[in-house]
Amino acid sequence: MINSVEAAAKILLRSKYIIALTGSGISAESGIPTFRGKDGLWSKYKPEELATPYAFARNPKLVWEWYSWRMKLIKEAKPNPAHITLAKLQNMRIIKTLITQNIDDLHERAGSRDIIKLHGDIFTVRCINCIFTQKLTNPPIEIPPKCPRCGAYLRPDVVWFGESLSPEIINKAFIEAEKADAILVIGTSGVVMPAGLIPKVVKDNGGKVIEINIEETVITSYADLFLKSKAGEILPKIFEKIMEIRRSRHV
């Protein structure tokens, strides 16, 4: 089996429409905890107490304390080489579309654009009662924050367990999956739907699935290439290999 960095680079170079799907693992090297696995958030906190509409109705202060903590963590974090490399591949149009499950802004801060954010954005808040919405730069001072328009509570504009994703965002993501002849799946356990179906759509259409993860997942069984590595370490190597092959072809 030729070196998997080289194999990945060759697949990407001969593909016409490459998309990427990322999960919390791509932000792990920036110091943002993932959800599952031994140090994951769900090993310390109960999602049903913090990430559901019922939890918010029951205890908006607790939910907001948790999201404020995560907002601070993300603000202090920096995009890592994985985010930066994806942004470079996107700006070179090698990657056509970036779809993320993450609610952090590290892809944006790395330079990625037109990101399909399946689960929302932690820095956007919306009123539970009226149409008010606002982009924050810092965690709210008042916890839980109140809508300046109607006085009801503001909530993070993210998708909680038990809630459905916005149909137009799902639609956009699956149209991209249908168009793709290759997908880079980075740092996701692939267990949350509908995001977990996206690589399968590419595969079922005859596209190539390249998975980057530090351990096997439910996606590995049908991936064409499984690169067992930290995203921040291997993505720059794949980028370098792509550039090297391109240069050698222009000799």
Name the residue type at position 124.
T
Q: How far is the CB of 98 from ligand APR (least distance, A)?
A: 14
By CB under 6 A, residue 192 contacts ligand APR? yes
Q: Which of residues 60-99 bind ligand APR (CB under 6 A)?
A: none
The answer to whether 241 and 9 are in contact (CB under 8 A) is: yes
Which residue in the shown chain puts its C-beta closest to ligand APR? Answer: 25
> Phi and psi for 77 in degrees, rounded to 5?
-80, 160
Which member of 143, 197, 214, 245 binds ligand APR (CB under 6 A)? 214
Q: Which residues pair with 208 in a beta bridge?
A: 182
DSSP letters of 186-241? ES----STTGGGHHHHHHHTT-EEEEEESS--TTGGG-SEEEES-HHHHHHHHHHH
36 contributes a contact to ligand APR by CB under 6 A: yes
Residue 116 interacting with ligand APR (CB under 6 A): no
Q: Residue 102 and residue 140: Cα distance in Å, rounded?
A: 20
Min dist CB 214 to ligand APR, Å, is 5
> 27, 201, 19: which is closest to 122 by C-alpha?
27
Catalytic residue flag (residue 107): no
Residue of 4, 24, 30, 85 interacting with ligand APR (CB under 6 A): 24
DSSP state of 227: E
Q: How far is the CB of 46 from ligand APR (least distance, A)?
A: 12
Site residues, ligand APR (CB under 6 A): 23-25, 28-29, 34-37, 40, 101, 119, 187-189, 192, 212-215, 217, 230-231
- Annotated catalytic residues are 119
